[in-house]
Amino acid sequence: MNVQTAPEKLTAKDYATDQEVRWCPGCGDYAILKSVQRTLADLQADPEQTVFVSGIGCAARFPYYMETYGFHTIHGRSPAIATGVKLANPELDVWVVGGDGDMLSIGGNHTMHVLRRNVDLQILLFNNEIYGLTKGQYSPTSHIGTRSPSTPFGSVDRPVSAAQFAIGAGGRFVARSVDILQKHLPVVLKRAYENKGASFVEIFQNCLVYNDAVFSHFTEKSVQADMQIHVEHGEPLIFGTESNKGLRMKNDVLELEIVTIGEDGVTEGDILLHDETNRPLAMLLASMQPPAFPVALGVLYCDPAPTYDGAVHDQVNAIKDEKGEGDFDKLLRQGHTWEV
Amino acid sequence: MSEVTAIERPEEKRDEVESAVVRFAGDSGDGMQLTGTQFTLTAALAGNDLATFPDFPAEIRAPAGTTFGVSAFQINFGARRIMTSGDDLDVLVVMNPAALITNLSDVKPGGIVIADTGSFTDRNLAKAGYDGNPLDDDSLDKYRVVKIDMSRLTVEAVKDYGLSNKDALRSKNMWALGLVYWMYGRRRKASTDWLNAKFEKRPEIAGANIAALNAGHAFGETAEMPAEIGGYNIPAAEIAPGLYRTVTGTDAIALGLLAGTRLANLGLTFCSYPITPASALLHQLAAMKEFGVVTFQAEDEIAAVGAAIGASYAGSLGVTSSSGPGIALKMEAIGLAIATELPLIIVNSQRAGPSTGMPTKTEQSDLYQAVFGRNADAPLPVISVSSSTDGFEVAIEAVRLATKFMTPVMLLTDGYLANASEPWLIPDMADYAPFEVKFRTDPKDFQPFTRDDDTLARPWVKPGTPQLAHRIGGIERADGSGHISYDADNHQKMTDLRAAKINGIADDIPEQEIDQGEAGASLVVVGWGSTYGPISRAVNNMRNEGFNVAHIHLRYIWPLPRNLGDLLKGFGQVLVPEMNKGQLVTLLRAQYLVAAEGFNKVNGKPFLINELETAIRGRLEN
Ligand SMILES: Cc1ncc(C[n+]2csc(CCOP(=O)(O)OP(=O)(O)O)c2C)c(N)n1
Ligand code: SF4
Ligand SMILES: [Mg+2]
């Protein structure tokens, strides 16, 4: 009798390569790597249909550690290169990984266009608010006053918010998580994977060496509950140690306010429900900043739209259907011809 | 009006000439490009060999009547092999004073200038910078000037069609075309057919244009032309039999890229960002979707080359195209393709520079950029197109080299070739041997940076292939495994291997042949790119005069053909004409220590045959 054995289930380990991981010990990138490997195992993603494309930076070393296809490219250009991969083979599952410098500084233009085109990719931006690989210069996400080798007296330029940028650029899926949130991050990654289109995930990542604790004001265990709000579609926007704080739209102005359930006659029914298809709301959530507001984490915005790579191939196929498969000899003889 | 064919005219009135150069020049709105294209088609149908050169203003909508708004179209057609669009003009047709002032110096002494007097108004004369009317003074005495009020005659000819004066005047170019058709005994049928088809939905416009064409023709026929300007007859040229069409260099490259990927059995992913004069290639390929061609107009040149590299990584052939400034932006990414050893084609339609330079003018000054213009030791093959039709073969060769050697290939063409057209004997694809790409699928002993013994190419693996998952990147790769490696000896080895792979292409390409003349001649003219036509004709003329001169024209710029050094050393003198300050000549001197001498010009225009003849003569007559 034949014994049918079920195909072996892949575990997180099966997605790890034998390459020695070279991030600094304690770097937030390790935690993200673990989360991604776990997510792929949960999804039983086919490693051979999966491609990791990255630019340059500490974050961008990522593909070397994933037992999938991988392409470590050049600084800032990974969104463009990944677009080409999807144009050539839309069937592949393509993840793009890069840092805040890679994707918002040198490659900001490509990030904008990959989002507005809605190329079917998972884009993971590891935001450590610093240039790690080049030894700690400030980055376009660094807050004003960041002291770094290139700004010894503190930076003076205003930072960009990755999530707001992504929503503004026309991204149809924008989410946020934190390296150390090992329960939250895989859930967000899974949502990103399931969304067809450009799924943008900003991951706050601690650079232990050059920008340690820059997010501690909302990631420290002691402040997490009050300084983070984990948004979920259809659920009230409630947070706080006692789960009694909530977000509400102000009357008359397009602004959010924090209210306390049980105070001033506020009930749970007064709290705004998260609607991830509501773009203005997503923008308001993305713009919240401590200490006045908690940092919004989770899927801030998800409103799927047709993908660019899909539309390109649909058009090619429609034209093939309409005109028939191209006849090259006919093409060579196109226009006026004459016999000599 | 019925069509009177030229055949019905008394033949004795027609002088037989071997070839002629005609230029139509007018305001951007005068339809000169259309006129020239129609004249070209008719010349081809009459069996002439020909070459054309359109010259349009850089400004999209230059103010009417200004010198920078002049648009011109030149055609050289004849009963013999035509190599260039012609040095001097036999006939210049000008539709306004600005066209006269900007084009007159190109007319041969004694050449014919046909001017529309109706447009030589005070206002237009002033806009062109004339103090008086040159048609009225003696300034044009060197030429045979035919003054015709084409504006008025056109309006009259089309009056039955109920058009406004402005619309009626739009047919003026057809009137001029009709007249020149008469001069060369040409049939009008191809143009009337074309007009009827183009304006199928607006028969009154078709009718007016045809009426103008016929009126211009009748003007010549009814002997209203000055007596000394008779008709000419240019017999059919001796051309290899077969089916012909005209192609510009852009047409030929577009078709060649598609032909090449079909021979390689690959998808074509063409990624570009608009820039003059390269955009037309994007436009053409974007219209070829029924062949499965995917085109991507990227956000910039860097994204374009990036997407092309991504496409090649995923198993299609990525092609990107631009002009010099855009190629400069692509260079870092081209280095990535060199490092990761992925096929890629970069088409450079060179233009006059540096910086924005003169976008619509031609030059061949990106040879250094192509061969040397990257950081670090980053060699890649560079090949060049020497005539509009040659683009087809060169594009196929680019695909073959890129896929056989797993390397980016730089294909150099230029602004002249991009727009210039010539007749093309339509190839039979059955004559081309396929070179199907074999993707690696066998997992046994697979490593991404092992090499083919002959070509030194690494395997090409499509992501999605079972059991071959691997990582590549721009950080130096260990020989074989492709793992990140900072090992000093490994870097030396990989750098040597990359260079050896590209140098080895010299053993794969044909040895250099001599285009005309014999090895060991007193002087050899060595050219590359679009100078082929003028060099070829000049060398031919000089040889007919008895000079011992030869012509070598390079398709392969890097690596150079392996016999080239020995070949060059056999000649008395080596002269290298280039539309740059001396780039190939430097390369030849550096490679072979030969006393090659440059002959250079960068005025935005192709070489004239007589400039080259003078240069050759000067070196052979002491
Ligand atoms: C064209 C180019 N310019 C500059 C660099 C140097 N460089 C490498 S990574 C980097 C910034 C990295 O910062 P980020 O993208 O935030 O990644 P992180 O190291 O913080 O993860 C820079 C400036 C480069 N590799 N290439
Ligand atoms: S420099 Fe910072 S970001 Fe880079 S590996 Fe070290 S800790 Fe991580
Ligand atoms: Mg960073």
- State the DSSP string of B60-110: TTPPTT-GGGEEEEEEEEESS---SS-SSEEEEEESSHHHHHHHGGGEEEE
When pLDDT is averaged across residues B572-576 and rounded to a whole number, the result is 98
* Spatial contact of B395 and B252, defined as CB atoms under 8 Å apart: yes
Residue A52's alpha-carbon distances to A34, A47, A48, B335, in angstroms, are 15, 10, 11, 20
| pLDDT of B14 strictly over 90 | no
Residue B127's alpha-carbon distances to B102, B161, B173, in angstroms, are 12, 32, 21
Residue B46's alpha-carbon distances to A231, B9, B42, in angstroms, are 76, 17, 6
Residue B475: how many other CB atoms lie within 10 Å:
14
Closest CA to A230 of A300, A280, A335, A172: A300
Distance of alpha carbon B568 from its chain centroid, rounded?
Answer: 27
When pLDDT is averaged across residues A283-300 and rounded to a whole number, the result is 98
| pLDDT of A212 strictly over 50 | yes
Question: Which element (helix H / strand E) includes B337?
Answer: helix B324-340
* Spatial contact of B323 and B349, defined as CB atoms under 8 Å apart: yes
Task: Tell me the pLDDT of chain A averaged across its residues.
Answer: 96
Outline where A96-215 has alpha helix (H): 100-101, 108-117, 162-168, 184-194
pLDDT digits 0-9 by tens, B152-201: 999 999 999 999 999 999 999 999 999 999 999 999 999 999 999 999 99
Range with lowest mean pLDDT among A214-223, B51-60, B256-265: B51-60
For chain B, say whether A20 makes contact (Cβ under 8 Å). Answer: no
pLDDT at A89: 98
- Rounded Cα distance between B556 and B564, Å, is 11
pTM, to two decimals: 0.93
Closest CA to A307 of A78, A50, A77, A93: A93
Task: Tell me the pLDDT of chain B averaged across its residues.
Answer: 94
Cα(A13) to centroid(ligand 2), Å: 23
Kindly state the tokens that stand for B413.
């063409």
Residue B15 — very low, low, confident or very high, per pLDDT cuts 50/70/90?
confident
When pLDDT is averaged across residues B587-595 and rounded to a whole number, the result is 98
pLDDT digits 0-9 by tens, B306-330: 999 999 999 999 999 999 999 999 9
Residue B222 — very low, low, confident or very high, per pLDDT cuts 50/70/90?
confident
Q: Which residues touch B209 (CB under 8 Å, ≥6 apart)?
A: B171, B174, B195, B199
Residue B364 — very low, low, confident or very high, per pLDDT cuts 50/70/90?
very high
Put simply, the chain A residues between 294 and 333 with a CB less than 8 A from any chain B CB are 312-313, 315-316, 319-320, 323-326, 328-329, 331-333
Q: What is the ipTM of this complex?
A: 0.97
Q: Pick from B290, B462, B483: which is nearest to A319 by CB?
A: B290
Shortest-distance atom of ligand 2 to CA A26: 7
When pLDDT is averaged across residues A56-74 and rounded to a whole number, the result is 98
Residue A4 — very low, low, confident or very high, per pLDDT cuts 50/70/90?
low
At which residue do the structure tokens 């092992």 appear? Answer: B450
pLDDT at A5: 56
The Cα of A138 is separated from the nearest Cα of chain B by a number of Å equal to 24
pLDDT at B4: 38
At which residue do the structure tokens 């009709």 appear? Answer: B178
DSSP code string of B510-578: PPP--SBS-TT-SEEEEEEGGGHHHHHHHHHHHHHTT--EEEEEESEEESPPTTHHHHHHTSSEEEEEE
Burial category of B314 from C-beta neighbours within 10 Å (exposed 0-12, middle 13-18, buried 19 and up): buried
DSSP-derived letter for residue B344 is E
Shortest-distance atom of ligand 1 to CA B332: 1
| pLDDT of B11 strictly over 90 | no
How large a percentage of chain A has pLDDT more than 70?
98
Mapping DSSP to helix (H, G, I), strand (E, B) and coil, where does residue B3 land? coil
Say which residue, A156 or B230, is predicted with more confidence: A156
Q: Pick from A48, A88, A312: which is nearest to B465 by CB?
A: A48
Mapping DSSP to helix (H, G, I), strand (E, B) and coil, where does residue B141 land? coil
Q: Are strands B556-558 and B382-384 parallel, antiparallel or unpaired?
A: antiparallel
| pLDDT of B150 strictly over 50 | yes
Question: Sign of the C-alpha dihedral, residues B477, B479, B483, B489?
Answer: negative
**Closest alpha carbon within chain B to A56:** B474
Distance of alpha carbon A176 from its chain centroid, rounded?
Answer: 7
Residue B130 — very low, low, confident or very high, per pLDDT cuts 50/70/90?
very high
| pLDDT of B7 strictly over 80 | no
Kindly state the tokens that stand for B357.
């330079």
pLDDT at B2: 36
pLDDT digits 0-9 by tens, B90-126: 999 999 999 999 999 999 999 999 999 999 999 999 9
Sheet containing B471-473: which strands, arranged edge to edge? A228-231, A295-302, A173-178, A198-204, A121-127, A93-99, A50-54, A69-72, B471-473
When pLDDT is averaged across residues B349-355 and rounded to a whole number, the result is 95
Asked if B47's CB is within 8 angstroms of A340's CB, the reply is yes
The Cα of B308 is separated from the nearest Cα of chain A by a number of Å equal to 6
Is the bond leading into B354 cis (omega within 30 degrees of zero)?
yes
Residues in chain A within 8 Å Cβ distance of B239: 340
- Rounded Cα distance between B466 and A47, Å, is 9
Asked if B190's CB is within 8 angstroms of A336's CB, the reply is yes
The Cα of A60 is separated from the nearest Cα of chain B by a number of Å equal to 11
DSSP code string of A229-285: EEE-TTSB-EESTTS-EEEEEPSSSS-EEEEETTSTT--GGGSPBP-TT-HHHHHHH
Measured CA angle at A146 (ends A144, A149), to 5 deg: 140
When pLDDT is averaged across residues A73-100 and rounded to a whole number, the result is 98
Asked if B464's CB is within 8 angstroms of A91's CB, the reply is yes
* Spatial contact of B367 and B557, defined as CB atoms under 8 Å apart: yes
